[in-house]
Amino acid sequence: MTEQTLNVIGTYTASDILSATWLSLRPRRSWRVAGVVLILFVLWAGWAEFYGPHAQTDGWMRWIVPGAALYFAFVFAAVLPIKSRRAYEQRKDLQRPCSFTTSDAGLLFSAEGVADLKPWSDYLKWKESDSTLLLYMSDNMYQIIPKRFFTSTADLDAFRAVVSHKIANRVT
């Protein structure tokens, strides 16, 4: 059975790289639940340290939780977007138009001066967000396909069907 060939074309933007970075950092659903429980525990511990019945009025230890919270907020709100934008600006190949074409053999990536057919068996898993698809070749290497590259939702649905058939492991 031969499948319909799909072709999507577009040019990456800095926001595509940031969106892919956020998606790649998003943990599995079970880890998200554990993370929420951990955050609630840390908030409770911070409250107890400052306002609880045994609250300390001095010492540097009580500032660890708020300091860590500020650090992570700074990293995720400022450092990560800056690093993603810089990576995009340094990668001139990402700033040229490119295309992805599906076939029975694999996914063909084409851009100025390059054409690479990656067999479907090279992909381990895939992830999806509201704006991006990531096709993983390893745990930390992925191909970014922004959904805005698709001309219609029917094309996106067809591509998603091909990917879900060829790459069985979808990470939610």
Q: How far apart are CA 34 and CA 161, in angstroms?
A: 31
Q: Name the 3-class secondary structure at 122.
A: helix
Domain boundaries, the chain: 7-13+92-166, 19-90
The partner residues of 119 in beta bridges, in order of sequence, read 106
pLDDT in tens, the chain (172 residues): 446 688 999 999 999 999 999 999 988 888 888 889 988 988 888 788 778 777 766 777 778 878 888 999 999 999 999 999 999 999 999 999 999 999 999 999 999 999 999 999 999 999 999 999 999 999 999 999 999 999 999 999 999 999 999 998 888 7
10 Å CB burial of residue 37 (0-12, 13-18, 19+) is exposed
Q: Are 8 and 102 in contact (CB under 8 A)?
A: no
Q: How far apart are CA 152 and CA 158, in angstroms?
A: 10
Residue type, 28: R
- Single pTM value for the model: 0.82
Contacts of 122 (CB under 8 A, 6+ apart): 106, 137
Q: Which CATH architecture has domain 7-13+92-166?
A: Roll (2.30)
DSSP letter at 61 equals G
Give the number of other Cβ atoms within 10 Å of residue 110's Cβ.
16
